[in-house]
Every structure is written in structure tokens, then in C-alpha cells.
């Protein structure tokens, strides 16, 4: 059976995934930021970040602060996608 990851650890991992997406460098040759491989890698990392925290608000016993952190993660993902792919 899979090991459960605490909500606080999920938030940390999600932010790490966002940082990894921001650290990816766009290819200098070819299409640059429009390269399908680059776009797919960025979107995959950001999707993983969202998936890491998406069930935290529905979990019993989660504090309001933790739910606010999840909202911040979603906002960070949206902002990172705009910054990286624009």
C-alpha cells in the first residue's frame, strides 16, 4: 500500500515542482519557448504540483491556513505558467 504523505510535505513538494519548472531553460535552437518538448515538460511539472495538493481542502481536519496555502499554490502555478511560456 502507498505511504501517505502529510499535507505540509505535499505543499513543500508542490513548491519544489514549481521551482523545477521555472528552472527549465528554453531551447536556444529551433522554436525556443514554443518547442513542444519544452512546453510539455513545463506543463507536466506544473500539473504534478497541482495534483500534489488538489485533495488537501477536502481532507478532514485540515486547518484554514493549510487551505489558504493550497490556494496560493494554485496561484503560483498559474503565474509560473504565464511567466515561463509567455
Question: What pLDDT does residue 12 have?
Answer: 96
Question: What pLDDT does residue 1 have?
Answer: 66
Q: Report helix, strand or coil for 26.
A: coil
**Residue 76: inside a domain, yes or no?**
yes
The answer to whether 18 and 46 have CB atoms below 8 angstroms apart is yes
Rounded to two decimals, the pTM is: 0.87
| Backbone φ/ψ region at 17: left (φ over 0), alpha (ψ -120 to 50), beta | alpha
pLDDT average, residue stretch 35-49:
93
% of residues, the chain, pLDDT over 70: 95
Q: How far is CA 2 from CA 5, 61, 77, in A?
A: 9, 21, 26
**Residue 50: inside a domain, yes or no?**
yes
- Residue-number span of the structural domain to which 15 is assigned: 7-24+31-85
Number of domains in the chain: 1
**Residue 2: inside a domain, yes or no?**
no
pLDDT band of residue 21 (cuts 50, 70, 90) is very high
Question: What pLDDT does residue 61 have?
Answer: 86
Question: What pLDDT does residue 4 have?
Answer: 84
Residue among 49, 57, 37, 59 at smallest CA distance from 81: 49
**Residue 51: inside a domain, yes or no?**
yes
For the chain, what is the mean pLDDT?
Answer: 90
Amino acid at each position: 500500500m502507498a505511504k501517505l504523505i502529510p499535507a505540509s510535505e505535499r505543499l513543500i513538494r508542490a513548491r519544489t515542482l514549481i521551482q523545477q519548472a521555472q528552472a527549465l531553460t528554453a531551447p536556444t535552437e529551433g522554436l525556443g519557448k514554443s518547442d513542444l518538448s519544452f512546453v510539455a515538460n513545463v506543463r507536466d511539472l506544473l500539473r504534478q504540483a497541482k495534483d500534489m495538493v488538489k485533495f488537501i481542502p477536502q481532507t478532514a481536519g485540515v486547518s484554514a491556513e493549510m487551505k489558504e496555502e493550497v490556494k496560493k499554490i494554485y496561484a503560483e502555478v498559474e503565474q509560473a505558467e504565464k511567466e515561463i511560456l509567455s
